[in-house]
Amino acid sequence: METLNFQFPAAEPGRGRTLVGCVSSGDLEVLIEPGSAGRLDIQVVTSVNGSSARWQQLFQRLFDGRTLPAVKIDIHDFGATPGVVRLRLEQGFEEIGHD
| Structural domain boundaries in the chain | 2-95
Starting at the edge strand found earlier in the chain, the sheet holding 28-34 runs 2-9, 39-46, 71-77, 28-34, 18-21
* Average of per-residue pLDDT values in the chain: 90
Q: What does residue 52 show for φ and ψ, rounded to 5 degrees?
A: -55, -45
Q: Could you give the percent of the chain with pLDDT greater than 70?
A: 96
Q: How confident is the model at residue 1 (pLDDT cuts 50, 70, 90)?
A: confident
Q: How confident is the model at residue 67 (pLDDT cuts 50, 70, 90)?
A: confident
